[in-house]
A and B are shown apart, each in its own frame.
Chain A
Amino acid sequence: MLSRTADSLYWLSRYVERADYLARVLDTATRLSSLPAAYAGTGNEWESALITAGCLEAFEEVYDVPTAETVTEFLVSSNRNPSSIRRCLEIARFNARAVRTALTAEMWETINGAWLELQGFKTKSLLSTDLPRFLDWVKEVSLRVDGSGHRTMLRNDAYWFSRLGIYIERAESTARILDVKYHFLLPDQSPVGGGLDYTQWTAILRAVSAATSYHWVYRESLKPWLVADLLILKEQMPRSLAACYGNIVANLDRLAEAYGRKGPSQRLARTIQTRLVNNRIENIFQAGLHEFVSDFIRDNAAVGDAIGKQYLA
């Protein structure tokens, strides 16, 4: 297939996934900021949301103070944020239109339909009364796009590239949350069960839609190291780093098999996967959670680059 087509499919997925993630980040920040300081902490949740979204610097070029209004506007619809939710969906649709022939009719209609619906949200109400409905809608769009792709696309390179986009983006998102919030997960940071930490742990789980899963996996009350374990190592949890890498490796292997050739991206991804599969959360804590996450973010970006060089250019 054309490299540009693969590139568009890959980024189409990444942008839809990113929009979904941003919606969750905003959801979480809204929730935390509505709690008394004793529960939510004195830190600025809105600033933390920007860091989690990876766009604090871009924000600071436009605004001075992160507040509910400025951050929401910036993350939802700002023209000056190259990856606001609105921009993400627009870029996704732009990519879809560029590769219509590689999409199924269902997938195209899903994305185009979402884009048409997006025109129906008026920026003003969207930032106030309509915000919860809008964020729910964004999450629903990602489900629809994901589902239509899963249900209708041929299992060939087009599908594999679009899946790779999802998992690379998702791995980055989960790692970012861990990067921003890791200090809440360190075992001896503060008295266990304090209201503040509990709220933060729940928030982390919510951001990766795993608040319920946690209990099914561990059948225990919230323990920070188990939250970390769930997000990093548990393959059952679809947003964990391990699950993302299981999928990245599987999709890269299918490509290598179909094309009869392996390259740097396969080798790199497998190295990362091995690190996740053969690891225990105790070891990660011992060596330093923060270092582990930083390394992961760097390596995940390297896999993205390798895929780009090997297939998309």
Chain B
Amino acid sequence: MAFDEMYTAEGEIRPAYVGVAKWMAAVAPEQLERRRAEAELLYRRGGITFAVYGDTQGEERIIPHDIVPRVLSSDEWSRLAKGLEQRVRALNMFLADIYGPRNVLKAGIVPEDLIWRNPAFRPEMVGLRVPHGIFVHIAGIDIVRIDANEFYVLEDNARTPSGVSYMLGGREISIRLMSDLFATHRVAPIENYPDQLLDTLRSVAPRGANGDPVVALLTPGQFNSAYYEHSFLADKMGVELVEGRDLFVRDEVVYMRTTEGPRRVDVIYRRIDDDFLDPLTFRQDSALGVPGLFSAYAAGNVTLANAIGTGAADDKDIYSYVPEIIRFLLSEEPILKNVPTWRCREPKDLGYVLDHLAELVVKEVHGSGGYGMLVGPQASREEIATFAARVKARPEGYIAQPTLALSTCPTFVESGVAPRHVDLRPFVLSGANGIRIVPGGLTRVALRQGSLVVNSSQGGGTKDTWVIEC
């Protein structure tokens, strides 16, 4: 039985949800349906859409937004926030270490091959100094909850985590469509996220930049699944939304082409993967990037956020070492727990995993978006057999975790309001002036009954997340 965030096992309402429960009892189902439809219309008209990978039609879909908020008490949040800050601090120090002195490897905390042979590790970055030693300026840490006391980190996202526009959009929906409920709570504000992001980005400008650094957001373009988010954030920050072809490099300085001639760019919030950033250094065939960008970066004339090669800190293999990394680099005990993880590349673990596939969740080390994973308890015998063969053929490509009973929250579905599994992705900003986290984050909900997969590409939805005083 999964932990329900609204009801105790005895059927009593937890303090944070008292207001929501009262409201739910009072509101008619038709009214809920009408609000849900209105919310959808707002998204659709605003073009708040995403494209699905592998969908050749290029169709634009919207992520279903569930209007019932997910509520966390401020006590719960402050515990969580401390843990998040510690974790992101550690990830940054870890990256500075593997691209620098390599103490973590020398001390044997992390096996060397996990770095040297990791495709997300970028040898080009070794020895390169990044401003203020910050690699991960924007992190999305996926958190799950399985009981009243513990939050677990499910996954670190240190490359180009997305979803923050849905977090902010969801709040907009709450304010506009759920004003009756919203007004009865003291919800911690999140609307300042774009400002904080801009502050963070400006704080890491290269030394050569003048007092008013120019920031731009680099997008792969409007066919990217997260394009809406890119344009939304650029707009809210008041910075240019640029594509690779809008930028060029001359004498190790990056410029953008404007109607008034070239303009120097100091900080690039890039939402393009490492591989595509610069065809002169990374993938030769990339048409999305900026030729010579890496040379400008290496010369210290432009800051990239996130830095190149941050993926070496967030794959699912490295994940399993993060608690050890925290102890070693920070000399602190990890505040947030890791989900127990079996590393298939270790023979002992592999044996266990193959024997227990039906109970475990098996994931690709470098997969994301809920693709390429096996949820044992929900898989057919054939699926398990096929997956077992894949794992055996390339064990180093997989890890396994127990099937967690993710916590549930009340969610508006066809049959009315019912509990559905949720996770949480808070966004953690690291700049020269410290770490900032807006209270809450993006709650993702698995809309299908019993489903544990919350990814938007796999039928997941979103919820507004409220951190309240109670």
Contacts and interface: CB of A to CB of B under 8 A. Distances in A.
B45 A109 contact: yes
A242 to B, nearest CB: 27
A261 B258 CA distance: 14
Contacts of A100: 47, 231, 235, 241
A261 B259 CA distance: 11
Contacts of B235: 100-101
Contacts of A313: 257
Given A3-B246, A4-B245, A94-B222, A311 B259 contact: yes
A157 B240 CA distance: 14
B113 interface: no
A98 interface: yes
Interface string A1-30: 111111000000000000000000000000
Contacts of B227: 97
A4 B47 contact: no
A209 B259 CA distance: 34
Interface string B220-239: 01100001000100110000
A113 interface: yes
B221 to A, nearest CB: 8
Contacts of A116: 44-45
Contacts of A105: 46
Contacts of B222: 94, 97-98
A184 B75 CA distance: 83
B47 A108 contact: yes
Given A98-B222, A100-B231, A100-B235, A4 B246 contact: yes
A216 interface: no
Interface residues on A, range: 20 to 34
Interface string B39-76: 00000111100000000000000000000000000000
Nearest to A258: B260
Interface in A254-287: 255, 259, 261
Given A98-B222, A101-B241, A157 B47 contact: no
B259 A259 contact: yes
Interface residues of B, number: 21
B23 to A, nearest CB: 29
Interface in B258-282: 258-260
B257 A2 contact: yes
Nearest to A1: B259
A39 to B, nearest CB: 46
B400 interface: no
Nearest to B47: A112
Interface in A93-128: 94, 97-98, 100-101, 105, 108-109, 112-113, 116
A97 B245 contact: no
Nearest to A96: B47
Interface string A154-187: 0001000100000000000000000000000000
B155 interface: no
Nearest to A95: B222
A310 B223 CA distance: 28
B242 interface: yes
Contacts of B242: 2, 4
Interface string B240-256: 11110110000000001
B259 A6 contact: yes
Nearest to B221: A98
Interface in B395-449: none
Nearest to A157: B259
A2 B246 contact: yes
A255 B259 CA distance: 10
B64 to A, nearest CB: 18
A2 B216 CA distance: 11
A109 B43 CA distance: 11
A165 to B, nearest CB: 14
Contacts of B260: 259, 261
A113 B258 CA distance: 29
B45 A2 contact: no
A63 B309 CA distance: 55
A101 B231 contact: yes
Nearest to A311: B259
A113 B257 contact: no
Contacts of B221: 98
A113 B45 contact: yes
Interface string B17-57: 00000000000000000000000000011110000000000
A1 B235 CA distance: 13
B258 A3 contact: yes
Contact of B257 (A4, A101, A161, A261): A4
A145 to B, nearest CB: 15
A4 B45 contact: no
Contacts of B243: 4
A97 B260 CA distance: 23
A250 B282 CA distance: 47
Contacts of A94: 222
A311 B47 CA distance: 28
A98 B241 CA distance: 9
Contacts of B44: 116
A100 B47 CA distance: 10
Contacts of A98: 221-222
The 9 A-B residue pairs with the shortest CB-CB distance in the complex, in nearest-first order: A101-B235, A100-B231, A3-B257, A311-B259, A6-B259, A112-B47, A259-B260, A97-B222, A101-B234
Given A2-B246, A4-B243, A4-B257, 16 more contacts: A1-B258, A2-B242, A2-B258, A3-B246, A3-B258, A4-B242, A5-B240, A94-B222, A97-B47, A97-B222, A98-B221, A100-B47, A101-B241, A108-B46, A259-B259, A259-B260
8 contacts: A2-B256, A5-B240, A101-B234, A101-B240, A101-B241, A105-B46, A108-B47, A116-B44
Interface of A: 1-6, 94, 97-98, 100-101, 105, 108-109, 112-113, 116, 157, 161, 255, 259, 261, 311-313
Interface of B: 44-47, 221-222, 227, 231, 234-235, 240-243, 245-246, 256-260
